[in-house]
Amino acid sequence: MNVKEQAEFEALLKGIHTNPHHFLGIHRQGDQWIVRGFFRDAKKCFLRDLAQNKLVEMLKVSDEGLFTTFVSGIIWYQFEVVYEDRTAYIKDPYCFKPTLTDEDLYLFNQGTHHHVYLKLGAHCILHEGVEGCAFAVWAPNAKRVSVVGDFNQWDGRHYPMRCLKYSGIWEIFIPDLQPGMKYKYEIYDANQQLQLKTDPYGLFFEEAPHNASIIVREDTFKWEDEPWLMKRAQTYGQEIPITVYEVHLGSWKHTVNERGEKRPLTYRELAENLVPYVKDLGFTHVEFLPIAEHPFLGSWGYQVTGFFAPTSRYGSPEDFMYLIDTFHKNEIGVIVDWVPGHFPKDAFALAKFDGTALYEHADPRQGEHPDWGTLIFNYGRHEVRNFLLCSALAWLERFHVDGLRVDAVASMLYLDYSRKEDAWIPNCYGGKENTEAIDFLRYVNDTVHQYYPGVLTIAEESTSSGRVSHPTNASGLGFDFKWNMGWMHDVLNYCKKDPIYRKYHHNEMSFGMLYQYSENFMMVFSHDEVVHGKGSMVNKMGSYFFDDKVSTLRALYAYMWGWPGKKTLFMGDEIGQVIEWDYCKELDWCLLRYPNHQGLQQLVKDLNVAYKRYSFWSQRDQQRSGFEWLDPDDSPNSVFSFIRRDITSNQTLLFISNFTPVERPHYHLGVPFSGTWKEILNTDANCYNGKNRGNLGTLVTQDIEQNDYPYSLNVYLPPLSTLIFSHAIS
């Protein structure tokens, strides 16, 4: 070897060569071509010309295991490496051109490569006529990156990668690797420390504690949901009925394994059990608490380490596809919780990925979340924005997901979120708004809607930040919907009160209408309301007797369904789960042996059916003209009444809720239209385990003016109930 070659070889030995492809592999040298292979601990190495089936013994030029030989031209070859106890047959990974183009590198560094997840990570491909796996990872400050795994005894001295120009991307194509093999990246980082990291773009992961990435072959699943996707693309979310069943897959229902131990259902078992259940209850969508890979089950999925991978707890990515495909074939949409706001500090994942604050901010005043002990993404870095955007797009493209519910948006919008006065850094304008995160969210929403019309983006935003669900060209964030957290807290605070005191808090039930049309709201009773000592939904109801608690909950659900906005209900709330949700246990399905719980479940089903039957009910969810109070101020009786209208068809629905345990046999209520009003739902009906008190099916108006309306109804109001009447002008 000449001096230059010796220097390259020494860099390879020290593990600091940034382009081993420049030294190893096949290269022109004068009139000949030299082939170099580096195999530590090898006794001999032979070069086999695959085209002519010729075998040549290579010269061992160093004790460390460097072998060379000359050939007359470019050939297809493999090494036959003789060790003490075996012979390995290896196609040379260092004779291939990069699997990423200059355009890929440029767009990624600009933060605009919308499909870079098809290039970064591990991908089984046919490259230059050879089957193998292409690896690529972004680690710009690393001194060396190697792929380690089942195929090289997890030894980072094998398969060092090359850094592609100034992109910070390290790449290698390794022939003959098979799906199912585990791998990680061994990184000799900026601090000259060795780290073992999982693949940020990995599609499948080994369960904790090892957490290795797993090679999978993509595009093998045969989707059968094309009719659903075509219909979705022509749908405008604000005008369709949307009722969402929120689910934590690991605690919905359990089965028994071969050892007699309880375990969660797999994705395919959920397809057999969860899909028909959601369909029977009439929900239009299901929403999964974060399904992306997460090592700590107690985080409920909100501390993500695999932003492109469905958790392996319940099966493979293909199994997850099967679950979604089954939902779609049953005309049920799938929303997943997506968590771009923070990530955990686990050493095997994104934290200090190349020895520096790569994905996070270096300053803890920007880069650490004080409440959750997690790290905050650096939204101002192009490659980080690209990573997160591609995470969103990959769930939609690979897994045909129909919506993204974005977690903890408020924590992203404000630099001082949950921080003391001296523990945050103002933006460049001196304000508290995280302008980089705001720009990022707008970018994500616009890009998602550009590529996937009909897909929903939903913000969990707990502050009064404005224009969250307004278009980005109108200074909004671009979400389709915003969870109405304020309404949820107000109505639950009201219902927690003993009925005798509710009249003093009457405005808590009606206050939400003052801001209802400032956003496209989704009304929600979420998982956050049934944990951490907050009590189950049924036990929040402030009555002494359990029957009254259930009656109040029935009345509240009907009130919620009547209120403008789409609906989300957490699993277990539909059966009146008595204890708080426990992520380790299944729901108490045994409760369905009792009439109160059966009745509550039946009510949710009937509300969904009615919500879909009257199309104007959902079409006018976001329009002021679709809602009108009849009497929002009857605090002495704790009664609320309003109508939902369709101006074009003259159809009207009347909602009356009585939140006291007092029956009101002659409740007079002014209405805008004369004629017959049909009682279509009564939460006190026998089928819901009520006392079956009502209005015998219909009411006829009286020509008596009431509440500034020309007509009135004499209504029988059962205790703790909501009644729904329909009316159509002929």
Contact 541, 588 (CB under 8 A): no
Residue type at 279?
A: K
C-alpha 587/C-alpha 88 separation (Å) is 53
Active-site entry in 293, 383, 407, 606: 407
**Contacts of residue 223, Cβ cutoff 8 Å, sequence gap at least 6:** 321, 325, 400
Residue 45: exposure state from Cβ atoms within 10 A (0-12, 13-18, ≥19): buried
5 catalytic per annotation: no
C-alpha 631/C-alpha 709 separation (Å) is 11
C-alpha 435/C-alpha 437 separation (Å) is 5
Contact 204, 216 (CB under 8 A): yes
Nearest to 307 by CA among 320, 323, 294: 294
What's the start-to-end Cα distance of the chain, in Å?
Answer: 97
Q: How is residue 47 written in tokens? A: 């070069």
Nearest 5°: phi and psi at 2? Answer: -80, 180
C-alpha 422/C-alpha 596 separation (Å) is 52
Which position has the token pair 């492109």? Answer: 308
Nearest to 726 by CA among 585, 613, 577: 613
Contact 627, 302 (CB under 8 A): no
Q: How far is CA 721 from the centre of its chain?
A: 36
How many other C-beta atoms can be found within 10 angstroms of the C-beta atom of residue 291?
27
Active-site entry in 186, 460, 480, 621: 460
416 catalytic per annotation: no
How many other C-beta atoms can be found within 10 angstroms of the C-beta atom of residue 18?
16
C-alpha 57/C-alpha 219 separation (Å) is 41
SS (H, E, C) 661-692: CCCEEEEEEEECCCCEEEEEEECCCHHHCCCC
C-alpha 477/C-alpha 480 separation (Å) is 9
3-state secondary structure of 549: helix
| Range 410-435 burial, b when 16+ CB lie within 10 A, else e | bbbbbbbbebeeeebeeeeeeeeebe
C-alpha 207/C-alpha 310 separation (Å) is 12
DSSP 8-state symbol, 433 = B
Q: How is residue 46 written in tokens? A: 């032979």
Beta strands in 92-247 (DSSP E): 121-127, 130-138, 144-149, 162-163, 169-175, 182-188, 194-197, 213-214, 243-247
DSSP 8-state symbol, 439 = H
Task: Calculate the dihedral angle through the C-alpha atoms of 209, 214, 219, 223, rounding to the nearest 10 degrees.
Answer: -20
Catalytic residues: 407, 460
